[in-house]
Structure 1
Amino acid sequence: MSDENLNWAMPVMRAGYAGRAMVYAIISGISLFAIWRGGAAKGTSEALSMVERSPFGILALSIVALGLFAYMAWRLVDAAFDLEDEGTEAKGIVARGGQTVTGLIHGALGVATLALIFGSTDNGEGSKTAFYLSRLMSWPGGQIVLGGVGLITIGAGIYYLHQAWTQSYREKLQANHFTLHWNRLLQIGLAAQGVSVLIIGLLMGIAAWRHDPNAAGGIDKAFGWLSHQVYGQTLVTGLCVGLALFSLFLAVNAVYRIIPRLRDPDVMSVAQKFKDMAEGA
């Protein structure tokens, strides 16, 4: 399929990143409000449940669900047609496999959001996760599988942190006033996401090692683990602020992301702009 025939992927990408940005804005916003009121930070399911109970909650969740499904579609199309030019060698295959898995995970989150809309309830994010992990570890080799998933998740966290440190994401963002002058906020947001994913992966590894499904979970478990460390409340608040900036990072990608195979030759990336500025100094 020619690159010209893939232009329809651009609005799907924009909708997907916007939907993902909404999820992180909800999690970080509700968590910061809860902390300010003396409570605890919220996980994804609990945060979305609070939105569902609010005025216009159904409409908001419907928009979030559509965005998550759009992000799933974008990642699957991205992987299938290699829109990011990852290539067909081992490194590229791994990257495209990661895109596929990421897409499916966000599709599952979209299904969970629809379940909230249509009245399906559970006993909370933590108990639901523990139930499924308990089932997994009861299978032959289930403990090893969970450990492997934990290692992959740790790798994803390190990858986010590496992107933040090297600022390689600038190669796929259009250069403009915002992306040039507010880059530090985007860098902090991406690093915060790396920290949260790294903690989630570590907790999965601990759960597999101890054969304790209650030790693993999503962002709620990461918040809980941080809160028990020295200066825990400060660390949790900092992570919530960082995830709010990650929401900003995703929103900026929704508007200004460059897709290599659909790239306008007249559009300059942030990385190229900084390089030209350095050479001209």
Structure 2
Amino acid sequence: MIGRMRIAVTGSNGKVGRAAVARLLADGHDVIGFDLDGTRGAGFTRVELSDYGQTLDALLGVTARHDGVDALVHLAAIPVNGLVPDATTFHHNMAVSFNVFHGAHRAGIRTIVYASSINAMGYPFDEPPPYLPLDEEHTAANNTYGLGKVLEEAMAGQLVRWDPAFSITALRFTNVVDEYSSFARAGELDYRRDLLGSYVDVRDAALAISLALDRASPGFEVYNVAASDTGLTIPSAQLAAAWFPGVPLRKELGEFETLLSIDKAADRLGYVPRHLWREN
């Protein structure tokens, strides 16, 4: 287990950011949030991360806040397509991630955990996946948000080559939920098809971040992060056959087992989702 660290969290006021900050504080770490919005105080600094100068300066130190950080959790981004024009989504997210990754490298921060996405795996799966459950070996982008995530992963993979001590972990989050009203549709066959039926509770997303920091090692790794079940009441094997006829199954599926494989995260990080919609 790692000891107490000072951890910077970009996007600290977002859905996952708030949960991650709460989790890391509960773990005993010191946390400084970097975002455009947040509560004034010792745990937050307003930073325009699309500005490299601001980003690097904030990582190096902020008077009355910190004089350096031990690790970085990067969650800041335009979170989905459609909020702004597609090119804006791509340009903004790529610039922010470059600024954060390269700034951390220059600042001597050697541990980064960041949010990748199911969008880097072929979402919304109009083109069927090559196999199920789908694991981290498959990479495909079908929108500008996803293209940014694929390129962020490629960038991270190259940056760790520059420094043998550098550790970057990409967490491919599926749809992160903090309430379950939409799960009233769980019996409908078309519900969550574009997500392979998957979801993850925001508290389990924060758990994965905590575990990834704890188990970080030099190099670049990618992990899927989802709940252990689907978000439907239809058995998983039936979903796979209906949604993607002819796509091979790599193993026999449990009744409601996730079609977005979390086996790697379970094996290497000890990730076991604790918050499932069926228990809420």
Q: Please, what TM-score do these two structures have when normalized by structure 1?
A: 0.26
Larger relative contact order (C-alpha < 8 A, sep ≥ 6)? 1
More strand by share: 2
Q: Please, what TM-score do these two structures have when normalized by structure 2?
A: 0.26
Greater gyration radius: 1
